[in-house]
């Protein structure tokens, strides 16, 4: 599998910044009890919203990018269950970025010289 490392790096930066910014806003505006009661919905929803932002900024196909975000969110969910939420989020950003780099590489047009 080939990966566009430039897109992967940009995806990691955009996703990490979007997640951090949204986490700060939510932490400042919502109570801790909200996250205890509804975090299982709010977390994945926030992750997917940030992935949509990443797709838009990098001009990646939205549905394919969101599918990658859903798959990359699995390690984060597992980490949350075992009590290491932020480590899982960091791993999910890396997996998501690699997915985005793969999507970008597959969308790149090939020339006759590259096909040989």
The yes-or-no verdict on residue 108 having pLDDT over 90 is no
* Closest CA relative to residue 73, chosen from 107, 49, 96: 96
Looking at residue 115, its pLDDT comes to: 54
**Mean pLDDT of all residues belonging to the chain:** 91
46 touches 25 (CB < 8 A): no
The yes-or-no verdict on residue 21 having pLDDT over 80 is yes
The yes-or-no verdict on residue 116 having pLDDT over 70 is no
Q: Which residues are CB-contacts of 11 (< 8 A; sequence separation ≥ 6)?
A: 54, 58, 60, 96, 97, 100, 101
Residue, of 24 and 35, whose pLDDT is higher: 24
Tell me the per-residue pLDDT of 43-84, one tens digit each, with 9 for 90 and over: 899 999 999 999 999 999 999 999 999 999 998 899 988 989
Residue, of 19 and 76, whose pLDDT is higher: 19
Looking at residue 14, its pLDDT comes to: 98
Which whole-number Å values give the CA distances from 50 to 11, 13, 26, 72, 110, in the listed order?
11, 11, 13, 13, 30
The yes-or-no verdict on residue 35 having pLDDT over 90 is no
Residue, of 112 and 81, whose pLDDT is higher: 81
């Amino acid at each position: 599998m080939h990966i566009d490392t430039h897109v992967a790096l940009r995806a990691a930066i955009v996703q990490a910044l979007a997640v951090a910014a949204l986490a700060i806003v939510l932490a400042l505006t919502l109570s801790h009890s909200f996250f205890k009661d509804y975090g299982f919905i709010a977390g994945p929803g926030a992750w997917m919203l940030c992935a949509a932002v990443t797709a838009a900024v990098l001009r990646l196909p939205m549905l394919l990018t969101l599918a990658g975000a859903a798959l990359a969110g699995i390690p984060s969910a597992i980490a949350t269950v075992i009590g290491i939420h932020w480590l899982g989020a960091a791993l999910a950003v890396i997996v998501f970025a690699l997915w985005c780099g793969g999507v970008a590489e597959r969308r790149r047009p090939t020339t006759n010289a590259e096909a040989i």
